[in-house]
Amino acid sequence: MLTPLSEAESGAVLRWIEDIIIGLNLCPFAKKPYIANKVALLGVSGNKLPKIANEVLQACKQLDSNETIETTLLVFPQDLRDFNRYLDALEYCEIQLEEAGYSGTYQLASFHPEYVFAGEDPDDASNFTNKAPFPIIHIIRESSIDAVLKTYRNPEAIPERNIELMQQLGIEHLRKRFAAFLK
């Protein structure tokens, strides 16, 4: 169920976007839509997979009907705290997205406070490339990605660059930086 985010919750997400995603340039495509106020933040409550997938599909329909919104972040401030449950929800949503005919139109990106890449140590700084103050399912217009990729040199190097940056910053620095989002 879509719910309004509290001021503290939306503030934490916005600080994360500004400080980490844009500030560290983890996503070189994020600044332009953010500054243009084309990012929708929607709160979601609940842990039931069909309801979560329904919210993702509703957000896609909103994007279909509103070209002024470039991308949507579905934020789960109270739910999906268990990372494995979150991954189950993400996988379920991706299947539902495909079944609804949205393959090639939207893609999902994942962010979670407990994010750990498969095979990585939970304390590896590289995991911070996908950590966020709350569980988030990011809905991205594929046409926007395609347009930006035409002008961006060597996009396949972005993940490697981000991992190197996180390693340079170090786990303790990153933990302190992330703790500040929830104050």
As for how many domains the chain has, the answer is 1
pLDDT at 160 over 80: yes
Q: Which residue has the higher pLDDT, 20 or 156?
A: 20
Which candidate, 66, 7, 8, places its Cα nearest to that of 40?
Answer: 66
**pTM for the model:** 0.95
Three-state secondary-structure class, residue 107: strand
pLDDT at 27 over 70: yes
- What pLDDT does residue 158 have? 93
Report the range of poorest mean pLDDT among 3-7, 15-19, 72-76: 3-7
What would the pLDDT profile of 97-154 be if each residue is shown by its tens digit?
A: 999 999 999 999 999 999 999 999 999 999 999 999 999 999 999 998 888 888 888 8
Residues 62/143, Cβ–Cβ less than 8 Å: no
What would the pLDDT profile of 44-87 be if each residue is shown by its tens digit?
A: 998 899 999 999 999 999 999 999 999 999 999 999 999 999 99
- What pLDDT does residue 183 have? 65
| H/E element, 100 | none
Rg (the chain; Cα; Å): 16
pLDDT at 33 over 80: yes
- What pLDDT does residue 87 have? 97
Domain that holds residue 69: 2-182
Sheet strand arrangement including 39-44: 2-3, 39-44, 71-75, 136-141, 106-111
- What pLDDT does residue 145 have? 87
Three-state secondary-structure class, residue 98: helix
